[in-house]
A and B are shown apart, each in its own frame.
Chain A
């Protein structure tokens, strides 16, 4: 396994370093502008908070064409005598290697985890390479719960602008919370702390060559941790400020990979999520404080336009996944897009859309990609609705609003169970016609909870 994941260069470095207590992994691809700051923060974090441990910073690079790798190896900590009051007992190594396999964050993580396992690390943290708000305290907050409190998985908890992280807010957080009963606010945050036991578990899995290799990695890690009963917690890291993603990145592909991973894991952990109801808080480390956030622009008209086009063209695809009444409600909604300010996609309809797509994903393996990509206009409609609704809201109100959506996801979980379990041969959009009384019954059951 080690030979398969690690390059010859990395294996040679392992022979030299042999052992490390803490591994900080940084995946990268053309991040020369920001990675120096991230490496410095990680270096100071290790030296300041874990001076008695041997630390190593591992950069797993996807073939950057800029100077990303050189910067990782050469960047120096400015004014170290001011940042570090005492001299660390043990040094901090830095290595940078290209990873093998499918290009993506997941493949980069795989190499980092393999390094951590080979070095017999007690704890590992992974942080994004485009972060501008990372501080040395992040390392402490991600590693300490693992080293000193016995947690296996530390998820981040940030303050983000109300329009930032809408895949998280509208799909991934509410769905993960409703399914697995744990209120992990940033399940795809990208910065995590991990125990050696959990890393070993990740490496024994054989689905690394799927969407997990790309954007699906974050939700994959979180889901495994919560579904398999590892001890999970969160750490408050302040604000998350990061570079805009690659402008060429395809929103549809991102949504496809993240949501596809959630749906795929729903099949694997069917027994787990079916047995859980409601949700509970997860321990939160760190001192919470308010922070200023970068403003985020959104183009409402463009999002509504995408939804309108979707309604015109994608009916035949949506019909494969959606119940007749859900589809009818969506198509009726397209008329409301002409008056942007009045547009509203309500929580219940949104939850039904997600649950019905999850069931269609299970039912139609050959058309999964198609279904997930057709979700994009619906997602944009939901985001547009949220933007309109939250225009005048402050952060606390937005959180309450998201919590309300989560409760709707939890309340309609019986509906998901009903759809999931039903052995259905009919196309869903036909099923809720008069004969589909069972579906209506299931929906009613969901609404009563």
Chain B
């Protein structure tokens, strides 16, 4: 009995010893790697914040309207943006290196997936950023135009323009990522088709009279505006 227990205990001890000798060194290496990566990331962020302070990138962000888009207060700085991006990139790289120390199938798969996905993520992110910027710019243009033309519900019109552009950007980004490609595309087609159908029905059936009144009102308004505009031309 005691012999059996001793044997079990020895086997457990051996397994533990084996596991410790197998996993402890990589774990220590991984922890050390993470610590180094963290320190490197912080150091890089500090250096970049100092180095990029007040350079043209800040001006670019401000002039392009990106700073107000990313942060409504406009307090965002180019330096902190670049430094933040470098910080997270170094941390991710450190994490992947740390994972690699374990040399397991799972860690290899995770690294592969990340390396494979990263360019796509960057592309998707860039598409979304451009989409949001365009949505903001064109939305504002629609807003100013509609307001100057005294079109009712100018803000709603601008919001609709923004939503459409953001939606298109999301569809294109999802296509680039290969993520739920068909779902977004189908949703887009359904929405656009639905909007056209609603408009057709409104003009053809249910809201015919309302649409007629609106158009008549619009024509009268346009005539009135033409007349008024001639009064404004001396300005």
Contact = CB atoms under 8 A, between A and B. Distances in A.
Interface of A: 161, 163-167, 244-249, 251-252, 254, 296-299, 302, 305-306, 309-310, 312-314, 316-317, 320, 363-367, 369-370, 373-374, 376-377, 379, 383, 423, 425-427, 430
B148 A252 contact: yes
Residue from B62, B65, B137, B233 whose CB has the most chain A CB atoms within 10 Å? B233
A314 B144 contact: yes
Contacts of B229: 247-249, 251
B68 interface: yes
B140 A313 contact: no
Contacts of B143: 313-314, 316-317
Given A316-B140, A367-B65, A299 B234 contact: no
B82 to A, nearest CB: 15
Nearest to A306: B150
B232 A251 contact: yes
A251 B235 contact: yes
A251 B75 contact: no
Interface of B: 54, 58, 62-65, 67-68, 72-75, 77, 137, 140-141, 143-148, 150, 154-155, 226, 228-235
Residue from A165, A249, A313 whose CB has the most chain B CB atoms within 10 Å? A313
Given A305-B150, A373-B144, A249 B228 contact: no
A314 B147 CA distance: 8
Contact of B233 (A245, A313, A373): A245
A353 to B, nearest CB: 16
Q: Which 10 pairs, one residue from A and one from B, show the smallest C-beta to C-beta distance?
A: A427-B74, A245-B233, A247-B230, A313-B147, A252-B148, A313-B154, A373-B144, A166-B235, A374-B144, A164-B234
A422 to B, nearest CB: 13
Contacts of A312: 155
B34 to A, nearest CB: 34
Contacts of A299: 228, 231-232
B62 A370 contact: no
Contact of B231 (A297, A363, A374): A297
A408 to B, nearest CB: 21
A364 B62 CA distance: 7
Nearest to A367: B65
A310 B145 CA distance: 11
B148 A249 contact: no
A159 to B, nearest CB: 14
Given A309-B147, A376-B148, A425-B74, A247 B58 contact: no
B228 A302 contact: yes
A425 B75 contact: yes
Given A366-B64, A425-B75, A377 B147 contact: yes
B147 A430 contact: no
Given A306-B150, A309-B154, A427-B68, A317 B231 contact: no
Given A305-B150, A373-B144, A365 B63 contact: yes
Contact of B63 (A164, A305, A366): A366
Nearest to A246: B233
A430 B74 contact: yes
Contacts of A316: 140, 143
A254 B154 CA distance: 22
Given A316-B140, A370-B144, A249 B233 contact: yes
B226 to A, nearest CB: 6
Contacts of B235: 166-167, 251, 254, 379, 383
B62 to A, nearest CB: 6
Given A299-B228, A309-B154, A313-B154, A166 B140 contact: no
B232 to A, nearest CB: 5
Nearest to B75: A426
Nearest to B151: A309
Nearest to B78: A425
B234 A377 contact: no
Contacts of A314: 143-144, 147
Contacts of A369: 141
Given A248-B226, A314-B147, 10 more contacts: A244-B230, A302-B232, A312-B155, A313-B143, A313-B154, A320-B65, A365-B63, A367-B140, A369-B141, A426-B74
A320 B62 contact: no
B73 A427 contact: yes
